[in-house]
């Protein structure tokens, strides 16, 4: 993006842009009404060179999470926040009301705290809430058969103009989806029915009108989440906002703000007001800060106030570790690494200290009441996830998963959207049973996993140990993959770690989409491979997930511009190129109209002569 | 290592050391005779801190590919090469003879070429060859029931002192090995029987006495290969030798020298004389250079001379694309990316130009005769491997695989050790059938795959797109994984790319070992996780695959030495740590001798009181 944010309150941050991808243009596909404008990225491709057939290559459309920041026609001022693309949709449903101000005690207090005024977002909007007795969740609408603008937006978005690119992927490999039901074309009706049955969620708080809606479910594209957040040790608001922008630039579908340090409330406001993607949080983290880190001093009342505080800011999904029941805590005693979930350990400590059932569990229905008044989705946390290969799939983990299934049914009774969090550290051969058990216990509610990491032995490379697990579980049916950065187990990720983590997880998610046979998933691979075969170097860079890195790596050995139109690369050099022979084979077959048998039977003789006559040089000069 | 090699012929490169890993010591386990000394790396671990139980943590032993370079008692002079650890074993078999000099025309010519004298390795040994009528392959010995020192060496090496560490892994997860037959302890007899039936190979040319023997087979630890080699565009001998050293330092089990540029013969000599791991090559690359890059001018005679030239230098395995038969070439015409294997395209071009069957196929038995005179193993090349997701598992690829199965039987008739190369680009759900078909067609000969890459869309990250595929195919039964570096499709890897590629593939191989349930595979994970739980930071760095990177990442946020004994990390900060609560749970259960039920029923009350009395502070100061 244009500059590292030095100080969000300074004028310098006005009109922030995210550097657009090369050869890319932001387009909007309009829906049934003018205010349904679905963003996509259009990548313009160059023509096929003459000796490969001189074709026009139609543009490639790809999913775009970067929001208005990459739209040259929109000036974004971080101090004012993004425009409210959903505001009419919310208002016209006429089931919410604007409040006088924050109704949480803490939200009210922070709004008027002079000590934090200098770092407060300036344009705090009055929050909205469901009118008394109303339920404003997308699930509630879906179950009434109402197709919301959000659902239509998502249908267009998920299709990614695949129809316009059908020529490119019509022969794609049939997948193995293990029982998913992915239609050829995503309709608003399909989105609606998936949300109604709880098989997908649309995290979209009514207080996050800046949001470009997206969906999480096994019958849609596999999504990825990027975590950020400060800690007591490090980071500032500026850094966290910048990480959010960086995360969506590289393709994060949702962002979780896991801040545990200073000014959590204010950091979140800045992030939300500038985030075009759903924002998730773990409210117990902030609640813990409110009791100065003493878990045993947590109360339902403090937690409840925190939920309302965050719901009124616009958080789209809450991780809530309501499955950490008292009875499961002793099951962790024999583990190698005990409880590694921060939220899980907070609740375990609380349960031990009070020797009573978790207040998250006992107050679960009251939590549902709050969720449905703002349409906050549940991400039911796996507080007892394994933190080591040794602890994978143990009684504590699976016991909790069963409870999460029970809680899902309660949430659904309230029409509250729900997804389920999953492990963690799991060896490759024990991943599938996690997915199967989750589908069974939780009625196909979307699964959202951290990796899983397939080995413990590679700190510094846990984006990779976990991408292996993530691709597999995505293939098996996981709906969203929570990224792991190279810093996992070692420190807080910086900007470059966020990029590395996001791109790695885009790979895992896409590998899963291909394996599931998601319609059109292969379009981008095919476009890339065709460009590769035709030595269209610029197109190869531009089609890839990280054009900058690809170009930089190419240029390390062949920096000259001429090398980007050369029909060779630094691997083989100019004298012999593997790829070129194939074009000779193909040209010949096409020219003669031979099928393969004939080519074999009689064509080769002639080809043989022709080759020798031409000097048998397969390297054609450009 | 001590310095970047500036000039191999300068004195400065004498006594090269590879930087040892921290807290690590080279040990040797002696076999039945004094000259069987099997290297391992012993990692010394610190004690468990008092409040976690004050245990001694026994040392961890890990597989060591780094050769004498990490032995402080050995001075390696690259100009003289490594000592000949296998020489007695070879001599005492009394089935080989020393030759007067190279018997290949090219080898003879290069030895006396004044133009290359300045860069020639100084101490070229006279080559050995089987006596007339003798067969000197490990497979030949194995089939006669002879257990060679190489086999005993390997048995000790594969066991990795797992018995001494049994306490650490005795509870490891049972794996899913899809029909592999991995014994609890590897005996020399087992090595012998696996080699005899062709299910494993020991690449060990009699002219590579510097080699520390290793084995490749589905019932052994999954191995990885690192590629290096210059091209017409870039690199020098010094760089390639350095890449080899770098590759084995990070854990490469074998190295392939794929040079296609200048001074291929001399580069290879330098590498072989200094390589403690098997070296593989693709002889057709050099043969092509001998005819100035004109594939159609290749002849059996030139190729044959190249095989002998390289066999007499000591190359341990040859990639030979004898499965690229004329009849398969037209099958590639409709592909997205045609033929992407360099060797495959060379042979395809030759077949087209001459309209006749490949000389590699028609002369295959003569090739076997050469292989068995030096014990060079086949790596039967997959010249028609798919170069894109689109082309995965097509008729050309699988047709060639069937031919490779046929050739395997011929090689085995000659007692020539054989492994089979595999793809390439394959989506996740189409990988398993590759493994199954390979096992079936090739009689369980070891499979050796490149990745496979599970998507085409991430140039710059193909170590990751491929590690996903590699971990899976390793789990399914692949014996060796050929690394892919971040530079794949973009340029030649540099040193850092080699490190990134090797470590990534160590991860994939280890994830596969864990999934297969390889005995003892989980020891290192458990040691890591225990260290993690006990906040033994130094041990965490040291146990990992890349201690330097782990330490560097940790220190980015918490650089002070005191942070390495702190019971927190930068993720949560010092005020609340997830891991610590678990120790509280555990301490309590242990102290009371409660089982989980009891703990639940009556223990919690007491625990609850104790907690509150102690101030309920789970963060214990160090």
Q: What is the DSSP string of A239-305?
A: HHHHHHHHHHHHT-SEEEE---SS-HHHHHHHHHHT-SS-EEE-HHHHHHHHTTT-GGG--HHHHHH
Q: CB-based contact (8 Å) between B262 and chain A?
A: no
For the stretch A316-335, pLDDT in tens is: 999 999 999 999 998 998 89
Mean pLDDT of A40-51: 94
Cβ-Cβ contacts under 8 Å, A355 against chain B: 604-605, 607-608
**Segment 334-373 of chain A within 8 Å of chain B by CB:** 334-342, 344-346, 348-349, 351-355
Mean pLDDT of A10-29: 79
In the predicted model, is pLDDT for residue A562 greater than 80?
no
Mean pLDDT of A346-368: 95
Do residue B203 and residue B330 come from a single domain?
A: yes
Using the 3D structure, point to which of B488, B521, B554 is the last residue of a domain: B521
Q: CB-based contact (8 Å) between B185 and chain A?
A: no
A227 annotated binding-site participant: yes
Using the 3D structure, point to which of A506, A521, A536 is the last residue of a domain: A521
Coil, strand or helix: which one is A540? Answer: helix
Does residue B426 form part of some domain? yes
Using the 3D structure, point to which of A486, A521, A556 is the last residue of a domain: A521
Residue by residue, DSSP assigns A152-211 as: HHHHHHHHTTTTTTHHHHTTPPP---TT----SS--HHHHHHHHHTTSEE----TT-TT-
In the predicted model, is pLDDT for residue A263 greater than 60?
yes
Q: How far is CA B193 from CA A573, B142, B196, in A?
A: 44, 7, 5
Mean pLDDT of B543-566: 86
| Inter-residue contact B222 to B483 (CB < 8 Å) | no
Does residue B53 form part of some domain? no
- Between residues B193 and B594, which one has the greater pLDDT? B193
The band of B254, judged by pLDDT with boundaries at 50, 70 and 90, is: very high
Does residue B528 form part of some domain? no
- Between residues A522 and A595, which one has the greater pLDDT? A522
Does residue B508 form part of some domain? yes
In the predicted model, is pLDDT for residue B299 greater than 70?
yes
Distance from CA of B143 to the nearest CA of A (A): 35
* Residue in chain A lying closest to B610 (CA): A353
- Give residue B616's pLDDT: 40
Neighbours of B123 (CB within 10 A): 11
The band of B169, judged by pLDDT with boundaries at 50, 70 and 90, is: very high
In the predicted model, is pLDDT for residue A594 greater than 90?
no
Do residue B247 and residue B357 come from a single domain?
A: yes
Do residue A416 and residue A476 come from a single domain?
A: yes
Do residue A448 and residue A576 come from a single domain?
A: no
Most confident of A252-266, A471-485, A544-558, B330-344: A471-485
In the predicted model, is pLDDT for residue A217 greater than 60?
yes
In the predicted model, is pLDDT for residue B217 greater than 80?
yes
Count of domains for chain A: 2
- Give residue A284's pLDDT: 97
Cβ-Cβ contacts under 8 Å, B468 against chain A: 467-468, 471-472, 507-508, 511
Cβ-Cβ contacts under 8 Å, B512 against chain A: 428
- Beta bridge partners, A98, equal A128
- Give residue B156's pLDDT: 98
B385 annotated binding-site participant: yes
In the predicted model, is pLDDT for residue B76 greater than 50?
yes
Residue by residue, DSSP assigns B274-304 as: T-SS-EEE-HHHHHHHHTTT-GGG--HHHHH
Q: CB-based contact (8 Å) between B80 and chain A?
A: no
Widest pairwise Cα distance in chain B = 90
The band of B230, judged by pLDDT with boundaries at 50, 70 and 90, is: confident
Does residue A30 form part of some domain? no
Does residue A420 form part of some domain? yes
Q: What is the mean pLDDT of chain B?
A: 90
The band of B9, judged by pLDDT with boundaries at 50, 70 and 90, is: low
The band of A10, judged by pLDDT with boundaries at 50, 70 and 90, is: low
Residues 6 or more apart in contact with residue A616 via CB below 8 angstroms: B294, B295, B296, B349, B353
- Give residue A565's pLDDT: 67
Q: What's the CATH code of the domain at B212?
A: 3.20.20.540
Least confident piece of the model among A43-57, B357-371, B515-529: A43-57
| Inter-residue contact A518 to A221 (CB < 8 Å) | yes
CB contact under 8 A, B571 and A173: no
ipTM of the complex: 0.93
Q: What's the domain range around A250?
A: 188-521
Residue A427's closest CA among B406, B508, B377, B137?
B508
Q: What is the mean pLDDT of chain A?
A: 90
Cβ-Cβ contacts under 8 Å, B487 against chain A: 553, 556
Q: A interface mutation test: which of B291, B344, B352 has the most A CBs within 10 A?
A: B352
The band of B600, judged by pLDDT with boundaries at 50, 70 and 90, is: very low
Does residue A290 form part of some domain? yes
- Give residue B492's pLDDT: 84
In the predicted model, is pLDDT for residue B205 greater than 90?
yes
In the predicted model, is pLDDT for residue B613 greater than 80?
no
Do residue B578 and residue B443 come from a single domain?
A: no
Does residue B394 form part of some domain? yes
* C-alpha span between A36 and A145 (Å, rounded): 19
Q: CB-based contact (8 Å) between A178 and chain B?
A: no
CB contact under 8 A, A333 and B589: yes
B34 by Cβ neighbours in 10 Å (0-12 / 13-18 / 19+) ranks as exposed
A442 annotated binding-site participant: no
- Between residues A416 and B610, which one has the greater pLDDT? A416
- Give residue B5's pLDDT: 52
Mean pLDDT of B425-448: 98
- Give residue B587's pLDDT: 60
Do residue A516 and residue A576 come from a single domain?
A: no
Do residue B472 and residue B612 come from a single domain?
A: no
Residue B225's closest CA among B252, B246, B249?
B252
In the predicted model, is pLDDT for residue B596 greater than 60?
no
**Segment 4-43 of chain A within 8 Å of chain B by CB:** none
Q: Is the pTM of this model over 0.90?
A: yes
Mean pLDDT of A35-46: 98
- Between residues B569 and A20, which one has the greater pLDDT? A20
Do residue B451 and residue B322 come from a single domain?
A: yes
Neighbours of B154 (CB within 10 A): 28
- Between residues A263 and B472, which one has the greater pLDDT? B472
Do residue B507 and residue B580 come from a single domain?
A: no
The band of B7, judged by pLDDT with boundaries at 50, 70 and 90, is: low
Residue B432 tokens read as 């398993």
Do residue B444 and residue B341 come from a single domain?
A: yes
Mean pLDDT of B566-589: 62
* C-alpha span between A502 and A496 (Å, rounded): 10
- Give residue B566's pLDDT: 67
Residues 6 or more apart in contact with residue B539 via CB below 8 angstroms: B23, B45, B46, B57, B527, B531
- Beta bridge partners, B453, equal B425
- Give residue A147's pLDDT: 98
For the stretch A414-471, pLDDT in tens is: 999 999 999 999 999 999 999 999 999 999 999 999 999 999 999 999 999 999 999 9
Do residue A492 and residue A412 come from a single domain?
A: yes
**Segment 460-499 of chain B within 8 Å of chain A by CB:** 460-461, 463-465, 467-468, 471-472, 475, 486-487, 489-492, 494
- Beta-sheet pairing, B317-320 with B279-281: parallel
- Give residue A261's pLDDT: 84
Do residue A572 and residue A511 come from a single domain?
A: no
* C-alpha span between A466 and B464 (Å, rounded): 11
């Amino acid at each position: 993006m244009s500059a590292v944010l030095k100080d969000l309150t300074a004028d310098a941050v006005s009109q922030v842009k995210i550097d657009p991808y090369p050869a890319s243009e932001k387009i909007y596909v309009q829906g049934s009404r003018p205010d349904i404008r679905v963003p996509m990225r259009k990548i313009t491709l160059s023509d096929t060179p003459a000796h490969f057939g001189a074709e026009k290559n139609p543009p490639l459309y790809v999913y775009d999470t970067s929001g208005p920041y990459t739209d040259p026609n929109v000036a974004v001022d971080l101090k004012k926040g993004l425009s409210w693309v959903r505001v009419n949709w919310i208002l016209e449903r006429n089931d919410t009301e604007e409040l006088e101000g924050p109704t949480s005690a803490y939200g009210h207090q922070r709004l008027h705290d002079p000590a934090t005024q200098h770092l407060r977002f300036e344009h705090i909007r009055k929050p909205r809430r469901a009118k008394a007795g109303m339920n404003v969740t997308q699930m509630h609408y879906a179950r009434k058969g109402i197709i919301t603008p959000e659902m239509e937006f998502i249908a267009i978005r998920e299709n990614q103009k695949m129809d316009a690119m059908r020529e490119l992927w019509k022969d794609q490999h049939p997948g193995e989806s293990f029982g998913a039901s992915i239609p050829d074309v995503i309709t608003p009706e399909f989105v609606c029915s998936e949300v109604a049955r709880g098989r997908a969620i649309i995290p979209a708080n009514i207080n996050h009108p800046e949001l470009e809606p997206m969906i999480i479910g096994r019958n849609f594209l596999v999504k990825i989440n990027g975590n950020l957040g400060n800690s007591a040790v490090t980071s500032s608001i500026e850094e966290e906002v910048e990480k959010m922008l960086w995360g969506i630039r590289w393709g994060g579908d949702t962002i979780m703000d896991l801040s545990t340090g200073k000014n959590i409330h204010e950091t979140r406001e800045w992030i939300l007001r500038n985030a075009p993607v759903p924002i998730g949080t773990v409210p117990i983290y902030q609640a813990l800060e409110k009791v100065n880190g003493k878990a045993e001093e947590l109360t339902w009342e403090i937690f409840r106030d925190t939920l309302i505080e965050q719901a009124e800011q616009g958080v789209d999904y809450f991780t809530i570790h309501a499955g950490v029941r008292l009875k499961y805590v002793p099951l962790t005693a024999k583990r190698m690494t005990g409880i590694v979930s921060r939220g899980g350990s907070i609740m375990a400590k609380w349960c031990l200290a009070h020797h009573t059932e978790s207040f998250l569990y006992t107050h679960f229905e009251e939590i549902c009441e709050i969720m449905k008044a703002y349409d906050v989705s549940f991400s039911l946390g796996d507080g007892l996830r394994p933190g080591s290969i040794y602890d994978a799939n143990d009684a504590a983990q699976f016991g909790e998963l069963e409870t999460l299934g029970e809680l899902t049914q309660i949430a659904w009774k309230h029409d509250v959207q729900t997804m389920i969090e999953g492990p963690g550290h799991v060896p490759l051969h024990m991943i599938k049973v996690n997915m199967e058990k989750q589908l069974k216990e939780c009625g196909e509610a979307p699964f959202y996993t951290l990796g899983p990491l397939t080995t413990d032995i590679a700190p510094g490379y846990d984006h990779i140990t976990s991408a292996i697990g993530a691709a597999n579980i995505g293939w098996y049916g996981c709906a969203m993959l929570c990224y792991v950065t190279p810093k996992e187990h070692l420190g807080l990720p910086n900007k470059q770690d966020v990029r590395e983590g996001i791109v790695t997880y885009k790979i895992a998610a896409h590998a899963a989409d291909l394996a599931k046979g998601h319609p059109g998933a292969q379009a981008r691979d095919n476009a890339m491979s065709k460009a590769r075969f035709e030595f269209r170097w610029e197109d190869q860079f531009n089609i890839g997930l990280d054009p900058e890195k690809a170009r930089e790596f190419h240029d390390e050995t062949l920096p000259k511009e001429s090398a980007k139109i050369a029909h060779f690369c630094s691997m083989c050099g100019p004298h012999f190129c593997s790829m070129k022979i194939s074009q000779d084979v193909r040209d010949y077959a096409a020219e003669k109209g031979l099928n393969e048998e004939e080519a074999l039977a009689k064509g080769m003789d002639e080809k043989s002569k022709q080759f020798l006559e031409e000097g048998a040089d397969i390297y054609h000069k450009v």
